[in-house]
Amino acid sequence: MAAAAAVAGSLLLTVGCSSSGSSSASGSSTSGGTNWATATSASAGGGMSALIAAAKKEGTLNVITLPSDWANYGTIMKDFTAKYGIKINDANPDGSSQDELNAVNQLKGQSRAPDVLDMGTAFAVKGAQSGVLAPYKVATWADIPAEAKDPNGDWFADYGGYVAIGYNSAKVKTPPTSFADLLKPEYKNEVAINGNPTQASAAFSAVFASALANGGSLDNITPGVDYFKKLHSVGNFVPVTASAATMESGQTPIIVWWDYLLASEIGSSVKTLKIVIPSDASYAAYYDQAISKYAPDPAAARLWEEYLYSTTGQNLWLQGEARPIELSTLVKDGTVDQAAYKALPPAPAGNVTFPTQAQQAAAENIVSQQWSSVIG
């Protein structure tokens, strides 16, 4: 605890020096005492150039669990370092969301503690509840849908996608466009999901989406389980764990999965893959960004977020076949990377809604009770 206070104190000093040195920039009237660890936006801390100067002074940024081949993070990190001369340490690239929260608590006060986090919403909410996240709002805060962020700024959605139908157009002659279509006899023995919904969140989301398509709601996932029962009874459901291998070998020509994972994981080996978001259900989920309250590099952490939510950062995610949260703004402004944008199916109109924690928990219980009665 004392160590944490000392670190925070010294950071305060260095940051103070740097921003007073660059007070001529941006005409800001803020005095030199910006404490970036508590700044809730760039403008509150003295503007972008003050932030950049402070971050450069810190010189390092600690990220955690970012695989370089996931959502284009390898390129993103390289570009950030090239642009600002800030060195990035990526700890535990293959770790989980839980590992991130553990690191925040266990490394508290150390210079190698994580600055920024990228995790699943359940874990972001958990982190916010335990008070380890520092609220921050990026410049483009207004472009993030209200349902996809904590109103206080503790966490905010970064990238994700929609539940989609991916099919091998070489084998599936009539393109399915909805969950209702998948029940047609022509798709006999063709439809699969990529896991057990009581274990894999992608498969769970497929059940949630099918519930929305069949009279269910975020409060009622049961029609989704019933849908898969029906899909099985008409003989269309192949209950194996679908992958690029099962699609290539012809066992599962149709897979219900995240659109961006279909594009990256299957599209790379099945060139005839087509992805469509079902017309009768749009169900999306996003990962979230958050800044650790104990970030040893608080200015760099905030600059990283500003960078990720700039046009450059958003387009880099898109190039990694992940759907950035501000995609619709990019499209509207014409700043989107067209080639990357066309690799994903167009997003459905209307606002995205996400289940609350209570709805999610209730749905999980129902699926864990009912899923194994789909066949046996």
Partner 1 sequence: MTLTVRWLRRIAGIVPFGVYVTLGLLLPMIAVAIGAFETNNGGFTFSNVSAATHGIYLKGFWQSIVLSLLTSIIPGILGLLVAYAIFTAKRGKVLRQVAITAAGVFANFGGVPLAFLFIATLGSSGLVSQWLTSLGFDPYAHGFTLYSLTGVVVVYLYFQIPLMVLVILPALEGLRPAWREAAENLGASTWSFWRYVGGPVLFPSFLGCVLLLFGSALSAYATTEALTNGTIPLTAIQIGSFLNGNVIAGQENIGKALGLGMVVIIAVAMIIYVVMQRRAARWLR
Q: Could you say whether residue 266 binds partner 1 (CB under 8 A)?
A: no
Q: Which is nearer to partner 1, 51 or 206 (CB)?
A: 206
Closest C-alpha to 287, from 157, 161, 200, 164: 157
- What does DSSP assign to residue 347? P
Which residues within the stretch 185-224 sit at the binding site for partner 1 (CB under 8 A)? 188-189, 193, 195-201, 203-204
Count of chain residues binding partner 1 (CB under 8 A): 37
Q: Which is nearer to partner 1, 253 or 267 (CB)?
A: 253
Burial of 290 (0-12, 13-18, 19+ CB in 10 A): buried
Shortest separation between residue 192's beta carbon and partner 1, angstroms: 8
Closest C-alpha to 157, from 322, 46, 32, 275: 322
Q: At what angle do helices 48-58 and 298-308 cross, to 10 degrees?
A: 120
In residues, how long is the chain?
376
Closest C-alpha to 348, from 323, 366, 369: 323
Q: Could you say whether residue 122 binds partner 1 (CB under 8 A)?
A: yes
Residue 227, CA distances (Å) to 25, 199, 232, 254, 283 in order: 60, 19, 9, 16, 16
Q: Could you say whether residue 239 binds partner 1 (CB under 8 A)?
A: yes
Q: Which stretch binds partner 1 (CB under 8 A): 54-62, 152-160, 314-322, 366-374?
A: 366-374
Shortest separation between residue 221's beta carbon and partner 1, angstroms: 12
| Sign of the alpha-carbon dihedral angle for 244, 248, 249, 251 | positive
Q: Could you say whether residue 267 binds partner 1 (CB under 8 A)?
A: no
Q: Could you say whether residue 96 binds partner 1 (CB under 8 A)?
A: yes
Shortest separation between residue 95's beta carbon and partner 1, angstroms: 13
Q: Which stretch binds partner 1 (CB under 8 A): 140-148, 246-254, 307-315, 317-325?
A: 246-254
Closest C-alpha to 229, from 367, 106, 113: 367
Q: Which stretch binds partner 1 (CB under 8 A): 144-152, 248-256, 272-280, 301-309?
A: 248-256
Q: Which is nearer to partner 1, 303 or 374 (CB)?
A: 374
Q: Which is nearer to partner 1, 238 or 299 (CB)?
A: 238
Cα(108)–Cα(361) distance, rounded to whole angstroms?
A: 30
Closest C-alpha to 184, from 233, 236, 226, 253: 236
Select from 245, 272, 356, 358 the one that contacts partner 1 (CB under 8 A).
Answer: 245
Q: Could you say whether residue 241 binds partner 1 (CB under 8 A)?
A: yes
CB count in 10 Å sphere of residue 189: 13
Q: Could you say whether residue 151 binds partner 1 (CB under 8 A)?
A: no
Select from 105, 130, 249, 269 the one that contacts partner 1 (CB under 8 A).
Answer: 249
| Sign of the alpha-carbon dihedral angle for 286, 291, 292, 296 | positive
What does the binding site for partner 1 look like in residue numbers (CB under 8 A)? 96, 120, 122, 188-189, 193, 195-201, 203-204, 232, 235, 238-241, 245-246, 249-251, 364, 367-376
